[in-house]
């Protein structure tokens, strides 16, 4: 689904509102649980390749409410083992994270992991906390610029706002990702949840809170990001 077609009102409102509530209750006290995906590639080969992929996201990438090791980032590591051996995936996502928090944490992550590719999945919590579009834009720009400056390629995973925030505001929010991607010539997935947002049976694709995607949804989320991601490997 493309941004201009909109997101199912019920799913969009529930999911983003829930991300904000989770962010308010968890984000402030959350610790950076940076994890590295298991890989079948020998350590010497990974070191020689120097191919680290860093994921900087919020609850959608931090396995919120899921069994450990079942999220889309883990599935990404497994797929890379099969299709592009030598890549190491570092998941530095935190539930409740905003673009401001991601921007603050990114320099240390770049310095520690020296990634060749950075995936930025942030912005949903900005929208629900009422941060200005300009603030979100500036934080996204800073993160992209810092990643490029460190020699990494970048993929932005876009989000959408609930339609009840106003069609014009929602359209401008969605456009942020397209504009930043175009400005820096980086990869873009316009709407990361497009594959599950309009599914008729919400209970199959979202957890009991009707907010966070289920285990079943994770493969579809990865498939949504994969075509653009593959271009950057």
Radius of gyration of the chain (CA): 16
Quick one: which of 216, 191, 209 has its CA closest to 123? 191
Describe the crossing of helices 133-149 and 99-113 by its angle, rounded to 10 degrees: 10
Structure tokens at 138: 């500036």
94/35: higher pLDDT? 94
What are the domain boundaries of the chain?
A: 3-232
Q: What is the mean pLDDT of residues 173-193?
A: 97
pLDDT-derived band at 8, boundaries 50, 70, 90:
low
> Is the torsion defined by CA of 22, 157, 216, 5 positive or negative?
positive
Residues serving a catalytic function are 59, 209, 212
Work out the pLDDT band at 130, boundaries 50, 70, 90: confident
On the question of pLDDT at 1 being above 90, the answer is no
pTM of the model: 0.83
CATH (one of 3.30.420.40, 3.90.1300.10, 3.40.1190.20, 3.40.50.1110) for 3-232: 3.40.50.1110
């Amino acid at each position: 689904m493309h941004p201009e077609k909109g997101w199912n009102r019920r799913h969009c409102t529930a999911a983003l509102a829930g991300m904000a509530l989770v962010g308010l209750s968890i984000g402030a006290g959350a610790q950076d649980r940076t994890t590295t995906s298991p890989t079948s590639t020998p350590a010497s080969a990974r070191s020689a390749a120097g191919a680290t992929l860093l994921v900087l996201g919020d609850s959608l990438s931090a396995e919120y409410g899921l069994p450990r090791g079942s999220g889309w980032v883990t599935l990404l590591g497994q797929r890379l083992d099969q299709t592009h051996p030598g890549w190491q995936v570092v998941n530095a996502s935190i539930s409740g994270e905003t673009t401001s928090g991601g921007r603050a944490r990114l320099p240390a992550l770049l310095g520690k992991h020296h990634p060749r590719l950075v995936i930025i999945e942030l912005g949903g919590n900005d929208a629900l906390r009422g941060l200005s579009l300009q603030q979100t834009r500036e934080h996204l720009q800073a993160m992209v610029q810092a990643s490029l400056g460190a020699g990494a390629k970048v993929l932005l995973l876009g989000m959408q706002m609930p339609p009840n925030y106003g069609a014009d505001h929602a359209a401008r929010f969605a456009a942020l990702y397209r504009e930043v991607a175009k400005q820096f010539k980086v990869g873009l997935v316009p709407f990361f949840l497009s594959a599950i947002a309009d599914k008729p049976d919400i209970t199959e694709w979202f957890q009991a809170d009707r907010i966070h995607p289920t285990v079943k949804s994770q493969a579809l989320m990865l498939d949504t990001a994969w075509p653009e991601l593959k271009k950057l490997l």
